[in-house]
């Protein structure tokens, strides 16, 4: 059942029609709780609020799989403007970028030139830039570009996905690189990735402990309090330096736990997405953690006083039914 729900939302995240329509609809089904608006002004406000509680941030200008240079250039310019805003407003945050948003599927050299422009400005302002790992089809290219960029820039790192069989080898290869370690949110083939959630969790925890012992700075991205508690105990038992890691969670998820970890003195970073191209990201978050549906349903159907909404119920039902029909039609076309 869990896999069926996960596959459903991953399919929605890849639906081009729904992604385009979502830009017209605006936020719905509680997406505004997990995405900090569509503008730099919106996201700056969210960052400053979290900074006052001792929480650092990483910002993601949403968008991926861009096939048009005009759109890729627009994304690059927005990222450069974001870097300027971080510097001017003295925000405690860094950037997360996707190579496919910057033209990887158009031309690799063009994508690299965009990244160099971004890294030059980021280096000037002493801002770290993390390259988000995308689907496995772009995995090798991403690592190749990272290694090329690392020849001239130390302020760039990437993400390793624990559900991939090769993740341990890649961590060894990147032992001196700042890494965000995640479980993985894309649907990948059994030939390259674990399919069982327990196996993914076990591998994630094992890789976290390995990175802690190796000493390279790592962001442990998980909302699982059981894993977090085990890592906290592991750090204490081995007398490890807390300055070598941080916990990281997504904006809007488990806010109480985020605040608790920061108050306990752990380095903590919130991953904040913003922008018009929000639908794919939001669907993958639901796929990654189906429990989040409870939050979405509550927001769509109930007020803050737990009273049933009226018109929003009709709207939400329409959107869910429409998305389901699109999903069914798409599957019929494939078969």
Q: Return binding residues.
A: 98, 133, 161, 183-185, 222-223, 284-285
DSSP 128-194: -EEE----GGGHHHHHHHHHHHTTT-SSEEEEEETTBTTHHHHHHHTTTS-EEEE---S---TTTB-
Q: Which residues contact 294 (CB under 8 A, 6 or more apart)?
A: none
Binding residues for substrate: 98, 284-285
Q: What distances in angstroms separate CA 277 from CA 114, 251, 282, 292, one per listed residue?
A: 20, 16, 10, 20
Catalytic residue among 60, 105, 132, 299: 132
Nearest to 76 by CA among 46, 106, 56: 106
Catalytic residue among 6, 105, 180, 201: 180
Are 148 and 177 spatial neighbours (Cβ–Cβ below 8 Å)?
A: no
Residue 132 annotated as catalytic: yes
Distance, CA of 92 to chain centre: 18
Q: Could you list the beta-strand ranges (E) of the chain.
A: 56-61, 93-97, 129-131, 156-161, 179-182, 218-221, 245-250, 268-274
Residue 256 annotated as catalytic: no
Catalytic residue numbers read 132, 180
């Amino acid at each position: 059942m869990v896999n069926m729900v996960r596959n459903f939302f991953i399919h929605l995240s890849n639906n081009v029609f729904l992604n385009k329509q979502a830009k017209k609809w605006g936020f719905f089904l509680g997406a505004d709780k997990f995405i900090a608006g569509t503008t730099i002004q919106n996201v700056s406000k969210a960052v400053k609020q979290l900074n006052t509680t001792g929480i650092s941030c990483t910002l993601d200008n949403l968008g991926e799989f861009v096939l048009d240079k005009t759109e890729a250039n627009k994304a690059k310019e927005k990222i450069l403007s974001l870097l300027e805003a971080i510097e001017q407003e003295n925000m405690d945050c860094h950037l997360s970028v996707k190579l496919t948003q910057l033209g990887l599927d158009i031309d690799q050299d063009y994508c690299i030139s965009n990244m160099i422009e971004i890294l030059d400005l980021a280096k000037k302002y002493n801002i770290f830039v993390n390259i988000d790992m995308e689907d496995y089809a772009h995995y090798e290219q991403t690592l190749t570009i990272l290694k090329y960029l690392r020849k001239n820039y130390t302020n760039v790192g990437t993400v390793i996905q624990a559900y991939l069989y090769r993740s341990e080898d890649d961590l060894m290869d990147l032992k001196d690189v700042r890494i965000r370690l995640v479980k993985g949110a894309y649907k990948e083939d059994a030939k390259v990735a674990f399919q069982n959630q327990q196996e993914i969790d076990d591998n994630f925890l094992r890789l976290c402990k390995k990175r802690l012992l190796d000493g390279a700075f790592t962001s442990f991205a998980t909302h699982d309090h059981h894993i977090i508690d085990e890592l906290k105990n592991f750090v204490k038992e081995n007398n490890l330096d807390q300055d070598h890691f941080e916990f990281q969670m997504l904006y809007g998820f488990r806010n109480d736990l985020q605040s608790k970890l920061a108050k306990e003195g752990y380095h903590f970073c919130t991953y904040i997405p913003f922008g018009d191209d929000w639908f794919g990201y939001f669907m993958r978050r639901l796929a990654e953690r189906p429990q989040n549906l409870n939050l979405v349903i509550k927001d769509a159907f109930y007020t803050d006083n737990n009273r049933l909404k009226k018109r929003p119920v009709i709207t939400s039902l329409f959107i869910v039914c429409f998305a389901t029909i699109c999903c069914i039609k798409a599957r019929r076309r494939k078969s």
